[in-house]
Amino acid sequence: MKIVVTGAAGFIGSNIIQGLNARGIDNIIAVDDLTEGDKFRNIADLKIADYLDKDVFYELFAEGAFGKVEAVFHEGACSDTMESDGKYMMDNNYTLSCGLFNTCQRAGTRLLYASSAATYGGSDTFKETPQYELPLNVYGYSKLLFDQRMRRECGDNFKKFKRQVVGFRYFNVYGPREQHKGRMASVAFHEFNQFKAEGKVKLFGEYGGYGNGEQMRDFVFIDDVVAVNLWYFDHPEISGIFNLGTGRAQPFNDVALSVVNALRGDKLDLASAVKAGLIEYIPFPDALRGKYQCYTQADLTNLRASGCDHVFADVQTGVSKYMTNLSAA
């Protein structure tokens, strides 16, 4: 069985390869752009059959150069929510993905692709229906447009085609192999580095009707993201667009406190950590005003209805495990 993973040296792609390897699957074609050479570290310890640059792969795949491919995990994208070059974003996240979908359909290859919670933004409801979809940035729009294209191509119930097409709307993913992401790395990763450097962590202060550090997100651990991807891989009869979060919003304060307690081996409460100067609040940046989701929480109704009953880690559990991983690196 041959598998393709795009964005293979990225955060989620490399973890999916690790998950496949754990099952004994290593006939994997890894696709990425290693212009940022340090990303090689994410796949250096993984087993793959071949590597191709993204500028070469898509045309060769369309020509049938790789023979029978069972499935493509399409994680390759520009995921910088602060990127303002709309043409670049649409070329990478929409146009390229449309071509990949067409090739998969012709070749009889299953497509499991990365969508995003950034497709939302119009309300505090995060359900996979058009009435709640209103992205706040061009990244979110590029992901939404491809989801809309899939609805048109596959039908609203995704039953038009026999071969599986699944989109995952990732919420705030954190965990190992994200060190290359710079400003787009998770809050937990940045706070680990802050604490190591300064002995404290910093959070945004009051904004959007939320108090200091009280803005809430659905933080989902990378191990859970991989597990859900592989669950759908095991169920090729199921297609659709599904939220991939925990279904449980938690404040940024929970992340910060979990980082502090994990690295100190402590069990402080929030008030004690703030009083001790271990958590500090900074003014909300002007550059993010009007572009920032103060609250996200995945509605898991459709995911659960499809039969996926995976149990997700809470912030305290996932962040503690992640801090152990980072500390050992």
Two structure tokens written together for 42: 């994410």
Which of the following is catalytic: 113, 120, 139, 174?
139
Integer Cα distance of 27 and 24 in angstroms: 9
Establish whether 139 is a catalytic residue. yes
Two structure tokens written together for 114: 């990365």
Q: Under 8 Å CB-to-CB from 283, ≥6 apart: which residues?
A: 204, 205
Residue 10 Cα to chain centre, angstroms: 10
Which of the following is catalytic: 47, 181, 200, 321?
181
For the four alpha carbons of 157, 160, 29 and 142, in that order, the dihedral sign comes to negative
For the four alpha carbons of 255, 261, 262 and 263, in that order, the dihedral sign comes to positive
Integer Cα distance of 80 and 181 in angstroms: 9
Integer Cα distance of 2 and 64 in angstroms: 13
Establish whether 210 is a catalytic residue. no
Integer Cα distance of 325 and 221 in angstroms: 13
Which positions are annotated as active-site residues? 139, 181
